Amino acid sequence: MKTKFITLIMAFIVFTITSNAQETEATRLLQEHNKEFVPEIFKFGEKVHFAVGYDVSNVAMIEGETGIIIIDAGMSPIRMEALRLKFREITNKPIKGILITHGHGDHFGGIQAFLDEGSNPQVWGRSGALGNDTGFNIEANAGEKAGLTYGNVRGGRQAGIILPDSIHINNGVAPKPDKQRTMFTRGKETAKFSPTHLFTEERKQIEIDGVKFELVAASGETYDNMYIWMPEEKILFCGDTYYKSFPNLYTIRGSQYRDVKSWYESLDKMQEDKPEYLLPGHTRPVIGKENVNTTLTNYRDAVKFVFDKTIEGINKGLTPDQLVAYVKLPENLASLPYLIEYYGRVDWAVRSIFYGYLGWFDGNPVNLNKLAPKTEAEKMAKLAGGENKLKEMAFNAFEEGDFQWAAQLSDYLLELNQNNKEIINLKADALMEIAKTMITATGRNYTNSYAIQMKEKIKE
């Protein structure tokens, strides 16, 4: 009895030390990343004002001859109203144009704040194609047409909407919401928002209020993605094709396949324009011709490496589980500050590329006829020497700091009894320990939110 007690104490000490150590490194890095979201309005040349940190995404104001042009419109009308007033301290000229880099709500959800000024600006977006759908915002439209609503639940977890401040650091490439949650307020009007002008070409030159822009088709995160090039100022607005994190080549909220090949080809195109300023949809600007060139080269090389290596592994017959071990970003790329996995993760991208080209079947015929989860759980319990033995193993794994194994064993036990409060708590606690070690904010937020929701459920 005494030995068992000492072992428990030892296990607790080991667990405390290791969990704190893990927490420190991932948490520290992610906290440090918050400096990317400190509000600031940069000025480039005579015309371009670039607001970082005022909402989930960045917003630019460009001064034309008699008016202004806005690039991207944030996510929250409340936040954008505050930024609009900031911009109005700089100039009072009417809004002549709004350019939206891609059809994601965090880049146009706040547009009403600018439209309310009543100057009827031309609003530009790119018409993309996804299956039979064409137009702007096709990703959300395709989901809506299919009757899909669960993306919102997963999106909410990934954004950490329900998380208390104490365990919510940021969203990887965006600050966490403020206490009033104004960052995630989207006007009803914007749900049906559509640009007044759509372009379908590869590259289109336009002039608004005496300012020259080139709109360039650049699929990647979405199929309606474009970048905006200001040839005279050598400024490139890249939307979400680049930001300071390994890119979110797959989003865990779930979406149609993000075309990874197009993504690095878009980075190639951007480089050909030889920008001197790279102004991303999230995180701070990259300044200086050499700096931009090196950053884009490395970023592109990283995306292309992951893509090519995954295809190479697929051609060797590797399954997704084997591929994630096979595809490792070389250290010289992985260690770059803008390729740290704050937002996207290499292994998630690898799985996505596999599924994007081959679908769900991993190639192993065992998985054509998988056991039902409950049947497998019954067999695992038998293998362990009974359900109680399996339970003991799950708790031991937790005490030993093997939280992933504790969570996986909990899944078997929950298949056997889904209302087992003790196991629900064990799994939730294991998930929260795992979350502490995750640097990828989306995964960390999702894991924490899921665990909290599990615990909430058994409180009822």
Which residues make up the interface to Zn ion (CB under 5 A)?
57, 106, 240, 281
Per the rule left: phi > 0, alpha: psi between -120 and 50, beta: everything else, 216 is beta
Coarse DSSP helix, strand, coil percentages of the chain, rounded to the nearest 5 percent = 50, 15, 35
- Helix (H/G/I), strand (E/B), else coil: 71: strand
Task: Rank residues 154 and 328 by Cβ distance to Zn ion and give the closer one.
Answer: 154
For residues 288 and 51, what is the distance between their CA atoms, to the nearest angstrom?
A: 18
Per DSSP, helices labelled H in 120-250 are 138-146, 150-159, 188-191
Q: How far is the CB of 450 from Zn ion (least distance, A)?
A: 23
Q: How far is the CB of 438 from Zn ion (least distance, A)?
A: 20
What is the distance in angstroms between the CA of the first residue and the CA of the last residue of the chain?
37
Identify the bridge partners of residue 99 per DSSP, sorted by sequence position.
71, 124
Q: How far is the CB of 245 from Zn ion (least distance, A)?
A: 11
Task: Rank residues 161 and 334 by Cβ distance to Zn ion and give the closer one.
Answer: 161
Neighbours of 130 (CB within 10 A): 18
Task: Rank residues 245 and 437 by Cβ distance to Zn ion and give the closer one.
Answer: 245
Residue 281 in contact with residue 240, Cβ under 8 Å? yes
For the CA atoms of 396, 399, 400, 403, the dihedral, rounded to the nearest 10 degrees, stands at 90
Neighbours of 160 (CB within 10 A): 23
Output 333-340 pairs: Cβ under 8 A, ≥24 positions apart. 333/298, 333/301, 333/302, 333/305, 336/298, 337/244, 338/242, 338/243, 338/244, 338/245, 338/295, 338/298, 338/299, 339/245, 339/246, 339/298, 339/299, 339/302, 340/29, 340/33, 340/245, 340/246, 340/439
Q: How far is the CB of 426 from Zn ion (least distance, A)?
A: 36
Task: Rank residues 57 and 137 by Cβ distance to Zn ion and give the closer one.
Answer: 57
Q: How far is the CB of 449 from Zn ion (least distance, A)?
A: 20
Closest CA to 219 of 237, 240, 235, 248: 240
Task: Rank residues 107 and 168 by Cβ distance to Zn ion and give the closer one.
Answer: 107
Q: How far is the CB of 264 from Zn ion (least distance, A)?
A: 18
Identify the bridge partners of residue 59 per DSSP, sorted by sequence position.
51
For residues 431 and 293, what is the distance between their CA atoms, to the nearest angstrom?
A: 40
Neighbours of 321 (CB within 10 A): 12
Q: How far is the CB of 175 from Zn ion (least distance, A)?
A: 13
Q: How far is the CB of 437 from Zn ion (least distance, A)?
A: 26
Q: What are phi and psi of 170, to 5 degrees?
A: -165, -170
Task: Rank residues 285 and 313 by Cβ distance to Zn ion and give the closer one.
Answer: 285
Task: Rank residues 103 and 443 by Cβ distance to Zn ion and give the closer one.
Answer: 103
Residue 185 in contact with residue 76, Cβ under 8 Å? yes
Q: How far is the CB of 224 from Zn ion (least distance, A)?
A: 13
Structure tokens at 139: 């990703």
Task: Rank residues 108 and 264 by Cβ distance to Zn ion and give the closer one.
Answer: 108
> What sign for the dihedral angle of Cα 298, 299, 300, 305?
positive
Task: Rank residues 246 and 398 by Cβ distance to Zn ion and give the closer one.
Answer: 246
Q: How far is the CB of 107 from Zn ion (least distance, A)?
A: 6
Give kind and range of the element (H or E) at residue 69.
Answer: strand 68-71
Q: How far is the CB of 240 from Zn ion (least distance, A)?
A: 4
Task: Rank residues 64 and 247 by Cβ distance to Zn ion and give the closer one.
Answer: 247
Task: Rank residues 57 and 295 by Cβ distance to Zn ion and give the closer one.
Answer: 57
Task: Rank residues 54 and 403 by Cβ distance to Zn ion and give the closer one.
Answer: 54
Q: How far is the CB of 334 from Zn ion (least distance, A)?
A: 23
